C-alpha cells in the first residue's frame, strides 16, 4: 500500500507519520510536506501531484505528506483520486486528518486508514454530550463548551468527531440510543453537520475557538425546542 490516511489527534498523527517515514527509509530531500493555513484547493493538489510524479533524488522512495486534510475542498479531493488509485511505485502518500469521515468515501477507498486509539475510544462521546445539552439553559451550555474547549486542538478534535457521529445518526439507527435525538430526522442531522463543519472552519482561523463552540452548541441545543414547537 502506497497511500495512508492517519486519523486522530494531531500529536498522535505526527508520531505515526514519523514512524511511517522512518520505516520507508525516505530521505528529507525526497519528502514534501503540505501544511495549509487555509483550504487545500485544486491548485494545491496539482502541486502535490507534480511532486509525487518526480522520481526520488536519493534512495527508492518519494514521500508526500498532506497535513490538515480536512481542509481539502471537494473538487480538490476529486482531483486527487486518480493519483491515489495509481500512485507511482516509489511513492509514499500520507494524508493526515482529524477524522477520516471528513474525507470523501472515494478517497477513503483508495487508502489504508490508520485510526488512532484515542479516536476509537472517543467514538460517540460527542453524541452523549449533544444529547445532554438538548433543551438546557444557555448557562449550562456555556459551561459544557468550556469543559471541551481547553485548547484549539481539542476543540478541533471534538468538532471533527461530532461531524462523524452526526453522520452516523442519519445513516443508521444509532440515534435510538439517545433519547433527546430520536425525534430528529435526516434533514435535521444534515443541518447539524453543516453547522458543525462551519464551526470547524472558523476554529481554523484566528477567531476565539471557545466562543465558536459556545455559539454552535447553543444553536444545536435550541433545535430541540424548535422541534417541540413544531409538534404543538
Cβ atoms of 135 and 104 closer than 8 Å: no
Regarding whether 87 and 143 lie in a shared domain, the answer is no
Domain that holds residue 210: 122-231
Output the nine-digit C-alpha cell for 57. 533524488
For residue 1, the model assigns a pLDDT of 62
Regarding whether 163 and 95 lie in a shared domain, the answer is no
For residue 227, the model assigns a pLDDT of 58
Last residue of a domain, one of 119, 136, 162: 119
For residue 224, the model assigns a pLDDT of 72
For residue 185, the model assigns a pLDDT of 84
Last residue of a domain, one of 103, 119, 135: 119
Structural domain total, the chain: 2
Regarding whether 115 and 139 lie in a shared domain, the answer is no
For residue 229, the model assigns a pLDDT of 55
In terms of C-beta density within 10 A (0-12 exposed, 13-18 middle, 19 or more buried), how is residue 52 classed? buried
Regarding whether 162 and 93 lie in a shared domain, the answer is no
Regarding whether 137 and 59 lie in a shared domain, the answer is no
Regarding whether 106 and 130 lie in a shared domain, the answer is no
For residue 97, the model assigns a pLDDT of 92
Last residue of a domain, one of 97, 119, 141: 119
Regarding whether 166 and 63 lie in a shared domain, the answer is no
Instruction: State the alpha helices, DSSP H only, in 53-185.
Output: 74-85, 105-108, 117-121, 125-133, 138-148, 152-171
Regarding whether 115 and 126 lie in a shared domain, the answer is no
What are the backbone dihedrals phi and psi of residue 32, each rounded to the nearest 5 degrees, phi first? -110, 130
What CATH number should be reported for the domain holding residue 87? Answer: 3.40.50.300
The residue assigned the cell 441545543 is: 221
Regarding whether 111 and 10 lie in a shared domain, the answer is yes
Regarding whether 131 and 78 lie in a shared domain, the answer is no
Regarding whether 105 and 159 lie in a shared domain, the answer is no
Regarding whether 115 and 24 lie in a shared domain, the answer is yes
Give the dihedral of Cα atoms 215, 217, 221, 222; nearest 10 deg.
10
- Mean pLDDT per 10-residue run, the chain (232 residues)? 87 88 90 87 92 92 93 93 93 92 90 77 74 82 88 87 82 75 85 91 86 92 68 51
Amino acid at each position: 500500500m502506497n497511500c495512508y490516511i492517519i486519523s486522530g489527534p494531531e500529536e498522535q498523527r505526527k508520531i505515526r507519520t514519523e514512524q511511517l517515514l522512518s520505516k520507508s527509509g525516505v530521505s528529507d530531500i525526497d519528502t514534501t510536506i503540505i501544511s495549509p493555513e487555509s483550504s487545500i484547493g485544486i491548485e494545491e493538489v496539482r502541486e502535490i501531484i507534480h511532486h509525487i510524479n518526480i522520481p526520488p533524488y536519493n534512495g527508492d522512495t518519494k514521500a508526500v505528506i498532506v497535513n490538515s486534510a480536512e481542509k481539502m475542498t471537494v473538487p480538490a479531493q476529486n482531483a486527487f483520486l486518480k493519483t491515489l488509485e495509481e500512485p507511482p511505485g516509489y511513492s509514499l502518500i500520507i494524508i493526515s486528518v482529524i477524522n477520516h469521515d471528513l474525507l470523501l468515501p472515494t478517497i477513503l477507498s483508495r487508502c489504508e486508514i490508520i485510526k488512532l486509539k484515542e479516536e476509537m475510544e472517543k467514538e460517540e462521546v460527542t453524541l452523549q454530550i449533544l444529547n445532554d445539552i438538548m433543551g438546557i439553559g444557555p448557562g449550562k451550555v456555556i459551561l459544557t463548551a468550556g469543559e471541551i474547549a481547553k485548547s484549539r486542538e481539542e476543540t478541533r478534535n471534538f468538532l471533527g468527531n461530532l461531524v462523524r457521529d452526526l453522520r452516523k445518526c442519519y445513516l443508521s439507527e444509532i440515534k435510538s440510543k439517545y433519547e433527546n435525538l430520536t425525534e430528529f430526522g435526516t434533514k435535521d442531522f444534515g443541518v447539524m453537520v453543516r453547522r458543525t463543519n462551519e464551526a470547524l472552519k472558523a476554529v481554523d482561523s484566528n477567531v476565539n475557538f471557545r466562543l465558536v463552540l459556545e455559539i454552535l452548541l447553543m444553536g444545536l441545543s435550541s433545535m430541540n425546542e424548535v422541534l417541540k414547537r413544531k409538534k404543538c
